[in-house]
Amino acid sequence: MKYIIVTGGVMSGLGKGITTASIGRILKNRGYRVTAVKIDPYLNIDAGTMNPAQHGEVFVLKDGGESDLDLGNYERFLDISLTSDHNITTGKVYQTVIEKERRGDYLGGTVQIIPHITNQIKEFITSAASNPLEDGVTADMCLVEVGGTVGDIESMPFLEAVRQMHGELPKEDIALVHVTLVPVDNMGDHKTKPTQHSVKMLRELGIHPDIIVGRSDVVMGVGTKKKISQFCDVSHRAVISAATAADIYEVPMEMEKEGLADVLRDLLGLEKKEADNDWYRVVSREYTNRASIAIVSKYGIEDVYLSIKEALRHAGRHLSTEVDIHWIDAESYDESELAEMDGILIPGGFGNRGIEGKIQAIRFARENKIPFLGLCLGFQMAVIEFSRDVLGWEGAGSEEMGAEKNVIAILPEQEDVTDLGGTMRLGNCDVDLMPGTMIEKLYGSRKITERHRHRYEVNPEYIDEIEEAGLKFTGRSGNRMEVCELPGSDAFFLATQFHPEFRSTPTKPSPPYLGFVDACKKYRMKEE
């Protein structure tokens, strides 16, 4: 196993996750088997209880682990499925060490940051790295992204663990990559001082980076690279310019041009292999059509819906259709905004705010035959809208919102749950699809597996009446409703309780998204 450790400096949000995923894609294109680990220095056990408006999307892994959005980028770039073991947090580390201490595992010794916490970090990393991939074979490389920035007090134990790993492993089995900001001044010159200070802080901790990735809005010149090389004691060819790209999937290609593959080959003693460019051809496919899609959201930050945005783009690439996303506030939009769209998407979420706006958007889509896709909460709101506006149940709503008539009810196993973290219906669940339905045709299969994250379901008491009125539940998991659609309608109307976006990748776009974007493209062509 070879390890590539990615750290960051100067400021957060530089793109360590995309850098890490891009390195992995470069290696995978050369035939290496790659896995990834994300270290988050916060005290939370996982990202599940975090406010998405502050922290971004909560990405759900196949085993039900709730992580931050970087693990989603790893899965999309590398075409792999990860587990909660691949997300290490301070909370997980300390919880494990304290449990060991309570059991007496340390034989009465004084439990300290070094060696107990750092040993546990290393144990978590090596254990996750050795987890077999989906075909049962272990990876050749493990990418480890250390969240936060150098100098953060929360990151110190993790950086110390990295320093220890660097000393314990053979030189050719570990490479250290440091991502820093290289800003441009008003004269258009790159400023290297932030990078110099960041690397200095890293070296004071005993960590000497092998590669420096300089993030900037524009490509760094030779002079800037030489300056960073001299001041930071790294090879000139190991200073990689990472300019802001129009599309995140272009980043591996840009790093290829910078010679990163050759640098990694020399550092890790790898065999020289030619790159397979099939993935690059997929992500750079030209557009011949366009579709405008409204995402009616209750959170004002795009990163909350990152997987949805990427799944739309994956489907768009596959269909040569550029997806123009319009973010519409569920609390303050005008229906004239929806009328200009080629499709309407209602995403997931929690709580009362914006619910009525989402319901009205679904009604507008259904009545005007605009392609509609509902996800999780969007599925539940589609059932509520149909119950109100077709069946005439005025008080229809969700138990979550305290409705008079709960067509959406809490899952029985959730009724006595008090802890919020990790207690929802989470991760992969098998779903049976009815033959001859839209959803079955999209998947081309009667049995599928998709990821879930919810506490509420369609109330079994009302299923028969709803179906008799025309809304059919065409996907089920046991006695739980998973998919609804409107058979006989000449418009695309589909909603899923599961989150198909979590399994979408550029090479394998999600079937519901493919069907939705295709319907949006055709709707636009018909309107034109």
Sheet containing 405-410: order of strands = 396-398, 405-410, 456-458
Annotation marks residue 322 as catalytic: no
Choose among 377, 508, 77, 403: nearest CA to 250: 77
Q: Which of 166, 314, 501, 520 is catalytic?
A: 501
Return the exposure string of 293-324: e unless at least 16 CB atoms fall within 10 Å of the residue's CB, then b.
bbbbbbbeeeebbbbbbbbbbbbbbbbebbbe
Residue type, 165: M
Which DSSP symbol is given to 250? G
Taking a C-beta distance cutoff of 8 angstroms, is the pair 47, 190 a contact? no
Residue type, 410: I
Annotation marks residue 499 as catalytic: yes
Q: Which of 166, 178, 314, 499 is catalytic?
A: 499
Q: Which of 142, 376, 429, 520 is catalytic?
A: 376
Taking a C-beta distance cutoff of 8 angstroms, is the pair 285, 317 a contact? yes
Q: Kindly compute the dihedral angle of the four CA atoms of residues 71, 77, 80, 82, in this order, to the nearest 10 degrees.
A: 0
Residues 6+ apart with CB under 8 A from 157: 90, 93, 113, 117, 118, 121
3-state helix, strand, coil in the chain (%, to 5): 40, 25, 35
Residues 6+ apart with CB under 8 A from 13: none
Annotation marks residue 501 as catalytic: yes
Active centre residues (catalytic): 376, 499, 501
